[in-house]
Structure 1
Amino acid sequence: MNTYLPIIVEEYFETSLSKVWHAITDLKEMKQWYFEQITAFKAEKGFETAFEVHIEDRTFTHLWTIQEVIPFQKIRYQWRYKEYTGDSQVVFELKEIDEKVLLIVTAEYIEDFPKNIPEFKRESGVQGWNYLIKESLKKHLEKVSNI
C-alpha cells in the first residue's frame, strides 16, 4: 500500500528538446548527472537494468524496468531495490513551451519502502529529485549546450 503523495519536480531548460531527451535516456549522459554507477540503459519498453549504489554501510541495488517510451515526450520506468521491499515508478515528461523545454518528473510510490531507512523518507526523495533535476541536470545541460 502507498501512503505517500507523488513527488513532482518541474524545471524549464533553455535548450533543445533533443538535448534534454538524450540527457535522460543516453547512458553516457546519464552517468554524468544522474547515477555514475548505471551499467546499462536503453529507452526501450521492457528493458531492464540493475546497478548498485552504496550509502554508508547500506547497498541499494537499483532495479529499473522500462514500462513506456514515447520518444522525445515521455519515459516511464519501474524503480525497485533488490535489498528492500517496496515499488515505485518514475515518469519523465517533456514539453516544448515558448522555445524552452519543460521537464516534469513524477516519482510515485506504488508500494511503500521501509520507513526506517532514511533514504526512503519523503523528505529525502523530494530533496534528491530537486537536486538531480534543478541542479545536476541543469548544470549538465548548460555544459552540453555550450559545446
Structure 2
Amino acid sequence: MDKIDFKQQKVKTALGLAQLPATNQQIKVYFSNRWIKIPLRSIVRLKGECNYTYVYTQNREYIAARTLKNFEKLLGEETFLRVHKSHIVNMMFVQGLNIQKNAGELRIEGGEHLGVSRRRLKDVINKLVFFHNS
C-alpha cells in the first residue's frame, strides 16, 4: 500500500502560498426557497446523484437541482478535481491519498474518505502532487 500525505497544505495556506480561489468567486444555489451564494474557497466537495448535486462546505450541506457535470464546468480545474463519476473535491481540503493496487482513497479534512475511480487514479495523483508542491 502506498500513501501520499499533504501535511504542508496548512502551512502553505497560512503563508498564502497555495493556489486559492479569488475571494469573490462563488456559485449560486437555490436552497430553501431562496438563492444562496457559496464562496468557492468554502466548498469541500460535491457529490452528484442523478440530476441533483450535494454541495458540502466546512459547516453545511446544500442540495442543488443541477448535475455534477454542470458544476464541473463552473468550477474549473485550478482548485477542483473530479475523482469519481459522482465526486468532485476541492484540492485544498485533501489531506492524503491511499493507493492499493489500482484503487485509491482520498482522505479529506473532517475525516471523510472518498473512493477514486481506477480510470482517474493516475490523473488524480499527478494533479494532487502538482497542486500541493507548487
Compute the TM-score of the two structures, normalised by the length of structure 2: 0.33
Which structure ranks higher in relative contact order (CA pairs < 8 Å, sequence separation ≥ 6)?
A: 1
